Amino acid sequence: MDVTKIPFNQFIGLKTSDKNGYLLMLENRPEYRNHLDTVHASALFALAEASSGYFLLNEFSELTDIVPVVRKVETKYRKSAAGAVFSKAKLQETEKEEVLKALNEKGRTTLKVEISLYDEADVMVMQSVFEWFVTRKM
Protein backbone atom coordinates (compact mmCIF):
# COMPACT_ATOMS: atom_id res chain seq x y z
CA MET A 1 0.00 0.00 0.00
CA ASP A 2 1.23 3.47 -0.88
CA VAL A 3 0.20 5.76 1.99
CA THR A 4 0.57 8.82 -0.25
CA LYS A 5 -2.42 7.46 -2.23
CA ILE A 6 -4.77 7.37 0.79
CA PRO A 7 -7.44 10.00 0.02
CA PHE A 8 -6.73 12.16 3.08
CA ASN A 9 -2.99 12.12 2.45
CA GLN A 10 -3.58 13.07 -1.19
CA PHE A 11 -5.93 15.84 -0.07
CA ILE A 12 -3.28 17.42 2.15
CA GLY A 13 -0.51 16.85 -0.39
CA LEU A 14 1.77 14.37 1.39
CA LYS A 15 4.57 13.20 -0.87
CA THR A 16 7.50 10.84 -0.86
CA SER A 17 10.52 12.87 0.21
CA ASP A 18 12.69 14.46 -2.44
CA LYS A 19 15.44 14.88 0.17
CA ASN A 20 17.84 11.95 0.62
CA GLY A 21 17.56 10.08 3.94
CA TYR A 22 13.93 11.03 4.62
CA LEU A 23 10.65 9.16 4.09
CA LEU A 24 7.81 11.59 3.41
CA MET A 25 7.41 15.34 3.20
CA LEU A 26 5.08 18.29 3.26
CA GLU A 27 6.09 20.94 0.79
CA ASN A 28 6.30 24.61 1.72
CA ARG A 29 2.69 25.60 1.04
CA PRO A 30 0.61 28.42 2.55
CA GLU A 31 -2.25 26.00 3.33
CA TYR A 32 -0.11 24.41 6.06
CA ARG A 33 0.54 27.63 7.97
CA ASN A 34 -1.05 28.72 11.22
CA HIS A 35 -1.69 32.13 12.78
CA LEU A 36 2.06 32.46 13.55
CA ASP A 37 2.99 31.80 9.90
CA THR A 38 4.65 28.50 10.87
CA VAL A 39 3.56 24.96 9.94
CA HIS A 40 0.32 24.08 11.74
CA ALA A 41 0.56 21.40 14.43
CA SER A 42 -2.15 19.31 12.74
CA ALA A 43 -0.21 19.30 9.45
CA LEU A 44 2.89 18.10 11.31
CA PHE A 45 0.86 15.41 13.05
CA ALA A 46 -0.63 14.22 9.76
CA LEU A 47 2.87 13.90 8.30
CA ALA A 48 4.06 11.99 11.37
CA GLU A 49 1.10 9.58 11.34
CA ALA A 50 1.45 8.84 7.63
CA SER A 51 5.22 8.41 8.03
CA SER A 52 4.65 5.91 10.82
CA GLY A 53 2.36 3.81 8.64
CA TYR A 54 4.68 4.16 5.66
CA PHE A 55 7.61 2.92 7.72
CA LEU A 56 5.61 0.04 9.23
CA LEU A 57 4.36 -1.17 5.86
CA ASN A 58 7.82 -0.97 4.31
CA GLU A 59 9.65 -2.50 7.27
CA PHE A 60 7.28 -5.50 7.19
CA SER A 61 6.59 -5.56 3.44
CA GLU A 62 6.89 -9.35 3.38
CA LEU A 63 3.72 -9.56 5.49
CA THR A 64 0.76 -9.07 3.18
CA ASP A 65 -1.82 -10.33 5.66
CA ILE A 66 -1.56 -7.77 8.48
CA VAL A 67 -3.91 -5.06 9.65
CA PRO A 68 -2.15 -2.27 11.57
CA VAL A 69 -4.18 0.19 13.65
CA VAL A 70 -2.82 3.14 15.65
CA ARG A 71 -3.47 2.53 19.34
CA LYS A 72 -1.68 5.38 21.12
CA VAL A 73 0.48 8.38 20.25
CA GLU A 74 2.88 10.52 22.25
CA THR A 75 4.01 13.75 20.59
CA LYS A 76 6.40 16.52 21.48
CA TYR A 77 6.54 19.67 19.39
CA ARG A 78 10.13 20.88 19.76
CA LYS A 79 10.48 23.96 17.52
CA SER A 80 8.32 25.97 15.18
CA ALA A 81 8.56 24.65 11.65
CA ALA A 82 8.78 26.84 8.59
CA GLY A 83 9.06 25.73 4.99
CA ALA A 84 9.05 22.11 3.87
CA VAL A 85 9.06 19.38 6.54
CA PHE A 86 10.58 15.89 6.22
CA SER A 87 10.22 12.66 8.22
CA LYS A 88 12.42 9.85 9.53
CA ALA A 89 11.35 6.68 11.36
CA LYS A 90 12.65 3.75 13.36
CA LEU A 91 11.33 0.91 15.49
CA GLN A 92 11.42 1.67 19.19
CA GLU A 93 11.92 -0.80 22.06
CA THR A 94 11.75 -3.91 19.87
CA GLU A 95 13.45 -5.71 17.01
CA LYS A 96 11.81 -6.80 13.80
CA GLU A 97 12.43 -10.46 14.66
CA GLU A 98 10.46 -10.09 17.93
CA VAL A 99 7.50 -8.63 16.05
CA LEU A 100 7.55 -11.44 13.48
CA LYS A 101 7.77 -14.07 16.24
CA ALA A 102 4.76 -12.60 18.09
CA LEU A 103 2.72 -12.44 14.89
CA ASN A 104 3.57 -16.05 14.05
CA GLU A 105 2.84 -17.35 17.56
CA LYS A 106 -0.14 -15.21 18.62
CA GLY A 107 -1.40 -13.65 15.39
CA ARG A 108 -1.12 -10.18 16.91
CA THR A 109 1.31 -7.81 18.59
CA THR A 110 1.99 -4.21 19.46
CA LEU A 111 4.99 -2.22 18.38
CA LYS A 112 6.21 1.35 18.56
CA VAL A 113 7.47 3.49 15.70
CA GLU A 114 9.42 6.63 16.54
CA ILE A 115 8.96 9.48 14.08
CA SER A 116 11.15 12.57 13.88
CA LEU A 117 10.23 15.55 11.72
CA TYR A 118 12.82 18.01 10.41
CA ASP A 119 12.61 21.37 8.69
CA GLU A 120 14.60 22.39 5.61
CA ALA A 121 17.64 23.21 7.79
CA ASP A 122 17.56 19.67 9.29
CA VAL A 123 16.38 20.99 12.66
CA MET A 124 14.12 18.55 14.52
CA VAL A 125 10.72 20.20 14.94
CA MET A 126 8.62 17.32 16.27
CA GLN A 127 9.07 13.83 17.66
CA SER A 128 6.36 11.22 18.14
CA VAL A 129 6.01 7.62 19.18
CA PHE A 130 3.15 5.75 17.53
CA GLU A 131 2.03 2.53 19.18
CA TRP A 132 0.49 0.20 16.65
CA PHE A 133 -1.71 -2.85 17.25
CA VAL A 134 -0.97 -5.29 14.45
CA THR A 135 -3.01 -8.40 13.75
CA ARG A 136 -3.18 -10.93 10.96
CA LYS A 137 -6.23 -10.82 8.68
CA MET A 138 -8.77 -13.48 9.52
Average pLDDT over residues 42-62: 95
Beta bridge partners of 124: 118
pLDDT at 129: 98
Given pLDDT bands bounded at 50, 70 and 90, which one contains residue 120?
very high
**Do you know the residue count of the chain?**
138
Q: Which domains are assigned to the chain?
A: 3-136 (3.10.129.10)
Average pLDDT over residues 41-70: 94
Residue 78 contacts by C-beta under 8 Å, 6 or more apart in sequence?
124, 125, 126, 127
pLDDT at 137: 84
pLDDT at 122: 95
pLDDT at 53: 95
Instruction: State the chain's mean pLDDT as an integer.
Output: 94
The residue among 95, 93, 97, 98 whose CA lies nearest residue 112 is: 93
Residue 113 contacts by C-beta under 8 Å, 6 or more apart in sequence?
52, 55, 56, 89, 90, 91, 92, 129, 130, 132
In whole angstroms, give the CA distance from residue 29 to residue 40: 11
In whole angstroms, give the CA distance from residue 61 to residue 40: 31
Helix (H, G, I), strand (E, B) or coil at 39: strand
pTM above the 0.85 mark?
A: yes
pLDDT at 128: 98
Give residue-wise pLDDT tens across range 25-36: 999 999 999 999
- The pLDDT > 70 percentage for the chain reads 99
